[in-house]
Structure 1
């Protein structure tokens, strides 16, 4: 079992797992596959177990009939990371401010998504975890413009799938063919008090309590060729579609959701 090393600075956990991991369906199919995996790669197996057991967030592929066409990608995922207490706080802020919210994009480097998916968005300005500048002050940086948010991303390229990956039929190969850029669609309470900066295409939210990730979206191809999507120009019908996706998690019949799994 090789030691895990990030001495090259790549932080490419996905690549390392790709070399060692058997197909998840194979592990589920037979307990012997799981035992072999644990014996051959004990530290990787321990790491994967920790990833699964400790993760409290929820991710589900959006059924095609609920896709928000305005986002110009079919790689759309319902996302829930907030704790019940955090969600209740956000809902209360929305209610206290007349139900006014807006949707914005958040782009981030690929190594940040592990933390974002598990813990939601955090204000890292002024901490050792801040990776880019804070030209418009401390806070969480969002944008109504997909092209602006793309600039904050390092794309997942096709090299993230190892040539020696055991999973020859891995679905990620098709998704990341030619590169993939991952972003979040964030709901924000739409009142001046929530924003440190709101001009042009840059929006800076002061505190985490004012925002909540609602969806993750993935765009294939180079991050330099992003679609021209501006959430400020989204119609009421498309806002309703995002609302429907958000509430699919809470209201859909389990059999209906299994059909789309």
Structure 2
């Protein structure tokens, strides 16, 4: 019986890979097998071997799954055909070899003998990879001289590893990969943005090599090799920014640009980390002194540090009374909100719950507490902007028409987050829709509107002295604020102190920042010691501000109780929640100390680091003093271990 067209195409694509490997005597790839819906092969280097598995679907090449034995949990879902998948894997391994950075890319490391004969790759036809020049035999398409000049300019100005070029034999198309160093991002920002600091961001341009700078503008892709595209935090926003930039600049061949492209390159410019979005200085197009490709890299370097200060959809600067926050987000424009929630930009609830269910549990609890407060018109800020699932042209929850009771109802109709982790998404969605069609979209908003970074601390990274299993890493400062903090820390040094605030206030704090509330509508406890952020080295003082010891019913958790809780409790069980934050404080002359009550008038000198939750009337040890040597050392150990884990 004749095979169906789908099977024929798959078999043909498999044969392309196998035949090309045999023709080029590519011995590192072996053991090619295709059976049913799976194509497998091995990559060997010395005694090490990695097996790759490509699982195809009924709608091949769409929904093709790629995995390898070296990182079984990292599964790539792609629409590329098998030759292109193989092409990318081999190119990543060669790139690994060229850089001498074993394990940086998804593939295994390449050979170390520098054999350029293995640089032939595959697309749906033949494909060749060039890191430099290739002699022309008369039949191949000549590379555009301006492209040659631009490539060389990148190597001269940014380094030999800052660019690569792939040419497809017999085709005019080329693939240019620009590698942008992001090691300048601080650890907190990289963690919150889902970026690997040790690995460059790849900006990929697909264009014509004979019509370079004259033909159609390239298609742009942005990714980090070691991360799935849908898990790369900056992917959508930076891809859109770079596509607009490339399209606008592609054919703008000013006399200055043309001359510079073919002339000797000038010295690279240093970009300034501190851009002011009010003047859109991050959007200023760099001069084309080193050619178009250098210009593109410098524009990306210019935009990346301040992505959080611009809307992820329209790329207009945010207008925040208290300054930008840590995580990128959408602006308040209705068109942007619709696009953000309906076009797949927003993180999926299933992904977030799968990786951080306890954080979702905490976010929902904070929202409930804010809504239950008699100050909800002040502290339930921002109010949700949620697209109606039954009518995508309107908002079901609209800040212009606040319906607090309706929001409360939808939150109350949510199943327990713990239950959601144990139920398939489709089943849970159907179940939730039967009860309240707005519950799931509202949960999505609660998750995505959080502009701080929160992660549950593993048991071995927790501060035992806090006597609660509910301990979280909490980072909310923008890159600009962290930079200000870092400079001040180098000058004055820093220490740690507690900040106490009722749980109802944290829905707003996570989205608007820890601000000076003195003499504003947010003030609750007065400002007897002046205006500023109130902190204390003593837990008992900050506990009182958070309400833990306000009614005399709370009791400190014993060590035995704390150990039992840590071993057995993962999710919050109570609505009676109290909390306290541990902050890092700059020890500048501006820090006013009134006994054990400290006041920091400059909010930029206070950065949240950890967050602790207590429930059912329990409280932590009231005798904790962050300035005691033993306690201070324990805090530093946790901070240091977190930084080491981030660098790993």
Shorter-chain TM-score: what band? 0.7 to 0.9
For 1:62, the equivalent position in structure 2 comes to 457
Output one character per residue of 1:218-240: Cα deviation in whole Å (capped at 9) or x when no partner.
Answer: 23553777531111214353242
Displacement of 1:7 in angstroms is 8.4
Output one character per residue of 1:91-142: Cα deviation in whole Å (capped at 9) or x when no partner.
Answer: 1221233xx1110001101210112233331111111111121110111111
Say if 2:387 is the partner of 1:22: no
Say if 2:583 is the partner of 1:186: yes
Displacement of 1:60 in angstroms is 1.5
Output one character per residue of 1:67-93: Cα deviation in whole Å (capped at 9) or x when no partner.
Answer: 223334343211111222222221122
Contact 2:499/2:536, CA 8 A, preserved across alignment: yes
Displacement of 1:18 in angstroms is 6.1
1:119-158 pair list within 5 angstroms: 119-155=512-548
1:83 pairs, out of 478, 489, 497, with 478
Contact 2:536/2:596, CA 8 A, preserved across alignment: yes
SS in 1 for 2:374: coil
CA distance 1:16–1:192, change in 2 (3 Å)? farther
Contact 2:496/2:585, CA 8 A, preserved across alignment: yes
1:96 pairs, out of 483, 486, 491, with 491
1:6-17 pair list within 5 angstroms: 9=374
Of structures 1 and 2, the one with the larger relative CO (CA 8 A, separation 6+) is: 1
Displacement of 1:184 in angstroms is 0.2
Contact 1:150/1:226, CA 8 A, preserved across alignment: no
Contact 1:62/1:245, CA 8 A, preserved across alignment: no
1:240 pairs, out of 628, 631, 636, with 636
Contact 2:582/2:610, CA 8 A, preserved across alignment: yes
Output one character per residue of 1:133-176: Cα deviation in whole Å (capped at 9) or x when no partner.
Answer: 11101111111111101111135xxxxxxxxxxxxx98211xx4
SS in 2 for 1:113: helix
SS in 1 for 2:627: helix
- Alpha-carbon distance in structure 2 between the residues aligned to 1:242 and 1:170: 20
Contact 1:120/1:212, CA 8 A, preserved across alignment: no
- Alpha-carbon distance in structure 2 between the residues aligned to 1:225 and 1:74: 11
- Alpha-carbon distance in structure 1 between the residues aligned to 2:644 and 2:375: 36
TM-score (norm 2): 0.32
5+ residue gaps, structure 1? 156-168, 253-261
- Alpha-carbon distance in structure 1 between the residues aligned to 2:531 and 2:578: 25
Say if 2:605 is the partner of 1:210: yes
For 1:71, the equivalent position in structure 2 comes to 466
For 1:256, the equivalent position in structure 2 comes to none
SS in 2 for 1:198: strand
CA distance 1:133–1:65, change in 2 (3 Å)? same
| Structure with the greater alpha carbon radius of gyration | 2
For 1:172, the equivalent position in structure 2 comes to 572
- Alpha-carbon distance in structure 2 between the residues aligned to 1:118 and 1:8: 18
Contact 1:81/1:117, CA 8 A, preserved across alignment: yes
CA distance 1:71–1:172, change in 2 (3 Å)? closer
Output one character per residue of 1:161-213: Cα deviation in whole Å (capped at 9) or x when no partner.
Answer: xxxxxxxx98211xx49x542100000011222x2x30211001101110100
How many equivalent pairs are there?
A: 229
CA distance 1:32–1:68, change in 2 (3 Å)? closer
- Alpha-carbon distance in structure 2 between the residues aligned to 1:40 and 1:249: 42
Contact 2:467/2:621, CA 8 A, preserved across alignment: no
5+ residue gaps, structure 2? 1-367, 381-403, 549-568
TM-score (norm 1): 0.74
- Alpha-carbon distance in structure 2 between the residues aligned to 1:121 and 1:46: 27
SS in 1 for 2:519: coil
- Alpha-carbon distance in structure 2 between the residues aligned to 1:7 and 1:67: 30
For 2:230, the equivalent position in structure 1 comes to none
CA distance 1:131–1:38, change in 2 (3 Å)? farther
Superposed CA RMSD in Å reads 3.3
- Alpha-carbon distance in structure 1 between the residues aligned to 2:475 and 2:570: 25
For 2:646, the equivalent position in structure 1 comes to 250
Say if 2:439 is the partner of 1:44: yes
